[in-house]
Amino acid sequence: MTAPATEGSLPQQRGRLARVPSLAAFADGILITLMLGAVILWFAPAGMGRYGTYVLSLWLVTSIAVMGLNLTLGYAGLKSLAQAAFMGLGAYATALLTTKVGLNWYTSFALSGLLTFAVGLVLGFPALRVKAHYLAFVTLAFSTLIWLILRNEQWLTGGVFGLSNIPRPSLFGLKLDGALAFHRFVVIVTLILAVALWWMIRSPWGRAFTALRENPIRAASLGIDTRMYTLLAFAIGSAYAGFAGALYAPLVEFIDPSPFSLSQSFFLLLMVVAGGAGYLLGPFIGALLGVVLPEWLRVVGSLYLIIFATIVMLLLIACPQGVSGLLERGWAKLTGKGKIGKTVAGKSVAPNTGGRS
Amino acid sequence: MAEFIAYLIAGIATGAIYALAAIGFTLVWQTSQTINFAQGEFVMLPAVLVLLAIKLFGAPIWLGALIGIAAFILIFGVGFKVAVVDPMIRHGVLPLAIATMALSIIMKEGAKDGFSAEAQNFPSFVPTQTISVFGASISLQHIAIIVVAFAVIGLLQWFVGGTRLGRQMQATAQNPTVARILGIPVERMVLLTFVINAALAVVASVLISPIYLAKFSNGEVIGLFAFIAAIVGGFNQVRGALVGGLVVGIVDSMAAAYISSSYRLAVPLVLLVVIILLKPEGLMGRKEERRV
Amino acid sequence: MKSKWIIAAALGAGLAAPSLAQDKVKLVDVVELSGAGATAGTNWKNGIDLAVADINAKGGILGRQIEIVHYDTQTNPGNTRAAVQRAIDEGTYAVLGPVFSGPIGASMQISQRAEIAQFVGGEAAGLTKQGNQYLFRTSLSQAAAMPKIANYLKNTVKAGSVAVVWVNNDFGKGGRDAIIPELEKAGIKVAADVATEQGQADFAADAIKIKNSNADAIFVYLNEEESARFLRAAKQQGINKPMVGETTLLGAKVIELAGDAANGVKGHVGLSIDAPIPAFQEFGKKYQAKYNYASDHNGLKGYMAVYMIKWATEKQKKFDSKGVADTLRGATIKPSDEPGILMETTIESNGDLDRESFLAEVINGKQVINATLPKIKP
């Protein structure tokens, strides 16, 4: 049921994707793709039923978290194993602020982002002081600690029984309780966040990132405060997870600790890499693989998870740069720009996914 | 005091389980910079394969064990290296680590769908009796695990330092380019570590499963604790796995006893963070020189 | 008429004749087939498949064959919600599952809004306190079972203090939160309150802690395999106090896995394939034959859930999915009317169940029922 509509939107992305990201001349193609994608997704649920609509929304919400992790990993080269935990912080903050404190969703959304941003700073600072890749280990510990707190502090979080009846927001007095209305709201929020990230990457600040990723030693010698930049990238990436959580809570209308566990953080990491780390549209493809593909595969019955994991593994074996990298290679071949494509792949892609951790 | 000793011994026994699983982490990391997130599943699966072989072919235990173990080493030692690690390793650590995550899902789901969603008894090769040590009881099975963990580390140390093959392996681990120039068959050496890794997983599986039962989901907990143990002990030292495993096991046991049982998992993790901040290379690890 | 046609078709064309879609009734089971709930979920699924096969072999419900579809939730609320939504979009007649409280909490509003009955395996007390008219349990709630345990500890075991060991998930925490106040009410001291993790590697530390608490009895509330591992660890540490449990501790799986260590374990059993009721034992044999292992209580729950739907449909004599919930609320299903329900079951207006239950003990590797406890509101 979801297949026709999303498939319809994919070729659009594919065409543009191939030109990302370092060919500045084509960078606006990403913006156009985002806009086009938003328009398609706005109308996509027509005739799709509540289930299809819900899965599309879940895909977009997950994409936001993956986008954040893509900034952290794909652009700043930091491995975070706590993206789902940050999403949990955002989700619980929003759920508690809207149900118990009585704030509106927009304030809660902003506060969730602020909270996760601040926690990201506090967590990243000591870890990055030691060595960049130790962040992975610190976030691994953090992720499990958050999960334990969510589960154990029942007075606040509802513990293993979770929090239910999380209200959905309204927009200019318009109720967004219905599946379609809320889906469209999610589309708008996702678009805003994606464009913000696009802008960030293109800004001088974002360019510093790219410099950092491609050659940290040179970047440092050029006077870029590498620690400051990586820390900010991690904090912003975490804030995106907080935003995603703030949408996840009203989408599912119920939260418990399980979607924010360590294994889910691993899963988000899988989506970044499978989609293509360091590509702006990679997260959408990654989340499509992680969220929508298993739903499609339900038709094959009980083996669907094995088939899903096999597809992911084969994909990575065939193309370690993920789907975006694969598309880029294909595009380069198609247009005869093989050489350019190769240097792009060799120089800008390999280092960000590579490096020893 | 007797109580403390009882907790200590329980912690050492559990720690030896983690250590046994963690050795593989450090081994493949050293020779090929591979982080295998399916390590826990590597320890889970041999026991399941043995039981499956017994069930499918109606084979006696020894034959089932032989078939299961041979199949495992072939697929997850040689096959894993050739089909997964080789094509990906030059693209850096992360895509490969993610691929092993996918592999862990395949192994887990495969064990569940192909064998059983239920935990199964696994025959013990060691008597199940309990003996008393300083007033605390410990089973012979646990003692066997502790002994084997130490023996494996000792053997590996001897192998790496004392045999020609081992020294070639070590040279490969330290600098594959120079090793190649010196005429060491680097590829074969790396393959050897993967076969050793698979064999160790089998040993761990056969020893742990009688206590821990054979079940598709067992790898999750073992894998996580082994990973923590490897970080705590030091990823680039095989003996780091032993120290890390024991430390984590003891800390876990003490946390359950004297701190809160619902937060017991937090204590080893706090320890992990402290160690990273104070001695990032792990308790036993050497500082890594930057390779250019 | 229709049913005659189906029978005729089946007789005429044999098994090859596929019945038309409208001659089937679709049931969707949304359950934990992967993730933390996979073991419970698989039992539940198998129980359902067994019931569906039985019913279909006997001509279906009101002449219609049941078409059963299972959707995995991955024990994740977001996925559960998607799957339940999908089930409803696909026009399921009723929703079966899930078993864990979290996934139930994430999906029960969906079926409530669609006015479709949902049959869940959860035992946490809170589920039926939210005024959801479409949610039905398939077993006693912990709020109903725990007073029986407290009573048993006080009067039969005569324990003055009890150590409680529980698994820290929705099942264990729910049980722990239900038993502690009951123990206090009965004047029993809680000597130790020990949480364990699901899938925990070793129970030695927990067993030592409980041993040192010197409680008169130990209440064990863990899932089956953890129960078995705990019993072994307790035996190894030389604990010889009575081990008392609720349903899971006395399960066939625990006895199989724990071996000797399970002997002497006693407690309250809600659903058990060893219950002294022929229908239960019959179910146990069929399950064993088909799946090659013994069913736990979740298998029984899934089996009975399908028969609850069948009974309600035949009672209202039509396929009206909203009517299923209306018919079931306040009803009492007797095995004489519907043998598949296995034992007399009263469905209260909030979706809770009331049934007889048992006091049992494990003797020489066998579960032996000592007494049958009456329904709470006989």
pLDDT (tens digit per residue) in C187-215: 999 999 999 998 888 899 999 999 999 99
Q: For position A133, what pLDDT does the model report?
A: 72
Contact B17 C257 (CB under 8 A): no
Q: What's residue A27's pLDDT?
A: 54
* β-bridge partners, B190: none
C134 Cβ partners below 8 Å, 6+ apart? C108, C111, C112, C115, C116, C117, C118, C325
Residue ranges with strand state E in B64-142 = 130-133, 136-139
* B261/C256 CB distance under 8 A: no
- The architecture (CATH level 2) of B2-278 comes to Orthogonal Bundle (1.10)
Return d(Cα C16, Cα B206) in angstroms, integer.
47
Q: By 3-state DSSP, what share of chain C in percent is helix, strand and coil, each rounded to 5?
A: 50, 20, 30
pLDDT of B213 > 80? The answer is yes
Q: Is residue C352 part of a domain?
A: no
The one-letter amino acid at B147: V
CATH number of the domain where residue A108 is located: 1.10.3470
A310 chain-B contacts, CB cut-off 8 A: 102, 106
- Between B31 and C352, residue with greater pLDDT: C352
Query: What's the gap in Å between the CA of C167 and the closest CA on chain A?
Result: 11
Higher per-residue pLDDT: A26 or B158: B158
Q: Of A263, A238, A230, A239, which is closest to residue A133 (Cα–Cα)?
A: A230
Amino acid C80: pLDDT:
95
- Give the total number of structural domains in chain A: 1
For A103, the 3-state DSSP assignment is: coil
Structure tokens at A342: 């190769």
Contact C105 A164 (CB under 8 A): yes
Max distance between CA atoms of chain A, in angstroms, equals 62
A76 touches A353 (CB < 8 A): no
Angle at which helices B218-233 and B186-212 cross, to 10°: 120
Q: CA separation (Å) from C158 to C164, C266, C357? A: 16, 13, 21
Token readout for B290 is: 């930057």
For residue A180, the model assigns a pLDDT of 93
Cβ-defined contact of C168 to A248 (cutoff 8 Å): no
Per-residue confidence (pLDDT) for residue C92, from 0 to 100: 96
User: Is A131 near chain B, with CB under 8 Å?
Assistant: yes
Q: Which helix (H) or strand (E) holds B200?
A: helix B186-212
First to last CA, chain B: 53
The answer to whether the CB of C202 falls within 8 A of the CB of C223 is no
- Same domain (yes/no): C131, C148: no
CB within 8 Å: C76 and A164? no
User: Residue C106 and residue A162: Cβ atoms within 8 Å?
Assistant: yes
Residue with tokens 């949304």, as numbered in its chain: C30
Q: Tell me which residue range forms the domain holding A157.
A: 3-353
Largest CA distance in chain C: 71
Distance CA A301, CA A292 (A): 15
Q: Using a pLDDT cut of 70, give the percent of chain C over it.
A: 94
For residues A62 and A275, give the distance between their C-alpha atoms in angstroms, rounded to a whole number.
13
Residues from chain C that touch B218, judged by Cβ atoms under 8 A, are 199
Query: Is residue C71 within 8 angstroms of chain A, CB to CB?
Result: yes
Residue C302: give its domain's CATH number: 3.40.50.2300
Task: Characterize A144-156 residue by residue with b for buried, 16 or more Cβ atoms within 10 angstroms of its Cβ, and e for exposed.
Answer: bbbbbbbbbeeee
Contact state of A51 with C89 under an 8 Å Cβ cutoff: yes
Task: Specify whether C149 is located in the same domain as C134.
Answer: no
Q: What is the distance between the alpha carbons of residues C301 and A173, in angstroms, rounded to a whole number? A: 45
Query: How confident is the model over B265-292, as a mean pLDDT?
Result: 78
Task: Name the band, by pLDDT with cuts 50, 70 and 90, for residue B89.
Answer: confident
What secondary structure letter does DSSP report for C20? P
With beta carbons less than 8 A apart as the criterion, state whether A89 and A150 touch.
Answer: no
CA distance A133 to chain B (A): 10
Question: Which residues span the domain enclosing C214?
Answer: 142-269+357-373
Phi-psi region of A167 (alpha: psi -120 to 50; beta: other; left: phi over 0): beta
Alpha-helical runs (H) found in chain C: 2-13, 38-57, 77-89, 101-114, 142-155, 170-185, 204-213, 224-236, 252-258, 278-291, 297-316, 321-328
Mean pLDDT computed over B75-83 = 94
Average model confidence (pLDDT) for chain B? 89
pLDDT at A129: 78
pTM of the model: 0.91
User: Positive or negative CA dihedral for A3, A6, A8, A10?
Assistant: negative
Query: Per the domain annotation, does C337 fall within a domain?
Result: yes
Section B18-37 average pLDDT: 89
Asked if residue C238 and residue C165 are part of one domain, the reply reads yes
The pLDDT-based confidence of C22 (bands split at 50, 70, 90) is: low
- In this structure, the answer to whether residues C211 and C321 fall within a common structural domain is no
Size of chain B, expressed as the number of residues it contains: 292
Distance CA C40, CA C222 (A): 12
List the single residue in C199, C200, C236 with the smallest CB-CB distance to B130: C236
**C378 lies in a domain?**
no
Question: Which residues of chain B have a CB within 8 Å of the CB of C199?
Answer: 217-218, 220-221
At residue B33, does pLDDT exceed 90? no
* CB environment A66-92: b (16+ within 10 A), e (fewer): bbbbbbbbbbbbbbbbbbbbbbbbbbb
| Residue ranges in chain A whose pLDDT is less than 50 | 1-25, 338-357
C261-318 tens-digit pLDDT: 999 999 999 888 888 889 999 999 999 999 999 898 999 999 999 999 999 999 999 9
Q: Dihedral of CA C309/C312/C313/C314: which sign?
A: positive
Establish if A162 touches chain C: CB-CB under 8 angstroms.
yes
Q: Does B118 touch chain C (CB under 8 A)?
A: yes
- Residue C359 forms contact with A (CB below 8 Å): no
Closest CB to A138 among B102, B106, B276:
B276
* Interchain CB contact of B140 with C (< 8 Å): no
- Region B184-203 average pLDDT: 92
Q: Give residue-wise pLDDT tens across range B215-249.
A: 999 999 999 999 999 999 988 888 889 999 999 99
